Amino acid sequence: MASSFAPPKLADFILTERLGSGTYATVYKAYRKGDSREVVAVKVVGKKTLNKASTENLLTEIEILKTVRHPHIVQLKDFQWDAENIYLILEWCSGGDLSRFIRSRRILPESVARRFLQQIACALQFLHERNISHLDLKPQNILLCGSALKLADFGFAQYMSPWDEQSALRGSPLYMAPEMVCRRQYDSRVDLWSVGVILYEAVFGRAPFASRSYAELEEKIRSNQPVELPPGARVSKDCRDLLLRLLERNPDVRITFAEFFAHPFVDMEHMPSAGSLVKAKELVLQAVQKDQEGERSAALSLYCAALEHFVPAIHYETDRQRKDVLRQKVSQYASRAEELKALVASDNRLSFEEARTSRDVLREMSRDQPRLLAALGMASTAIAKEESGLDDHEALDMYQQCLGELLLVLVAEPQGRRRELLHDEIQSLMTRAEYLKKHVKVSICPSARILGLDMHFQT
């Protein structure tokens, strides 16, 4: 039996320490007999503990795991059975689970949480494309193999098309979506709520509905109050936006899978992968060419884009010597990007000063146009906000608002000197906004941070 004190006997494996147990199964660390001594995890399910529902769940788990192969999903190597038990032979993950990783560090830096989230999103995208829902996503079911995360325990997983609905209670209450806890119909979007809880726990050290009892937990989940971040939460704008959209109580308002995979905080384009270094090298070759041709702004944009792929490439590389070489290269490119950033700023300063004079003239000519004056005032505020360097995101939002207004005014403006000045002002503001977006908003990581970032992933 799975619940017996001594590990069960299995023909090809030696079962050793017990790693954990649940209602229907116990998981052991095991070694394959023979010369290879391969390490695996064996999930032992006692046949006598299975009822009809749990038997169906187990068969679905085996079916799903036998058909999926993905670097961020635990691999089912084989399954066997005897008179008493069913055995799932699973890939061994030496780093423990994400819950233990978070507890050992209390909270995770946002950069580390983001890397982990990218891997979860990559696995979920793979499952979503095959109409598979996990339905029990939680840190305890996410395992670490080195710096790689792998989704595990598909005991509640189901094949669910986007329009399929279920009503059976599945998963762990702390990570269950409200529509599931309230025993209403639910669909695959419950997995997105669980991802939100996991991300919240990673960056704040506790789940949003952490409670002392199940009754208290259920009351919090059933409440109509929107989920709020902890007071004084220091997270980026993108992280905050994603958290609140994932933890939307109403599944019809909750972020969709497509929106989640495309969200700027998830940023799957820059997820560490085998292609990261290829993309980085392509971009840096273009950057060097533009740099040699004296096209500073274009070179800076390309260096920034290359660095965004070089950093994930460092994470992906496992060979220590090649990793050190990459760090040295990245340090050189980051230094050159910082130099170009200063040169481009100097190049733009003169043109920005010339635009300021034209803006004053335009303002004088627009005293009889309240809407145009208001838009120009907003432009001046955006410029001041940008030059203060305090909040690039807010400055960009202001640029977008005032440009929207100015373009509407331009459509209705008759030919003449004021229209020419307005056209020039719009072009100048667009240049500033693009400069801010590409060069100031893009964080050019100091070499020390780039070189040390991957240390956060050592388990």
Show the DSSP H helices in 317-416 as ranges: 320-364, 370-388, 392-412
The residue type found at 416 is: G
- Residue from 12, 35, 136, 347 carrying the catalytic annotation: 136
Determine whether 136 is an active site residue.
yes
What is the rounded distance in angstroms from the CA atom of residue 144 to the CA atom of residue 150?
Answer: 6
Q: And the tokens for 368?
A: 């009889």
The residue type found at 187 is: D
Strands (E), 22-93: 25-32, 39-46, 76-81, 85-91
Q: Is 341 annotated as a binding residue?
A: no
Strand partners, 27: 20, 43
What is the rounded distance in angstroms from the CA atom of residue 88 to the CA atom of residue 40?
Answer: 10
CA nearest neighbour of 150 among 161, 137, 163 = 137
C-alpha dist (Å) from residue 240 to 162, 227, 233, 301, 344: 26, 11, 9, 27, 32
DSSP class per residue in 125-152: HHHHHTTEE-S---GGGEEEETTEEEE-
Which of the 8 DSSP states describes residue 255?
P
What is the rounded distance in angstroms from the CA atom of residue 97 to the CA atom of residue 74?
Answer: 12
- Residue 80 region, left (φ>0) first, then alpha (ψ -120 to 50), else beta? beta
Buried b (16+ CB within 10 A) or exposed e, 308-345: bbbbbbbbbbeeeeebeebbebbbebbebbeebbeebe
The dihedrals phi and psi of 365, each to the nearest 5 degrees, come to -80, -5
What is the rounded distance in angstroms from the CA atom of residue 156 to the CA atom of residue 21?
Answer: 16
Strand partners, 132: 159
Residue 246: half-sphere exposure toward Cβ, Cα within 13 Å: 28
**Which of the residues are catalytic?**
136
Which residues are known binding-site members?
Answer: 47
Which residues are known binding-site members for ATP?
Answer: 47
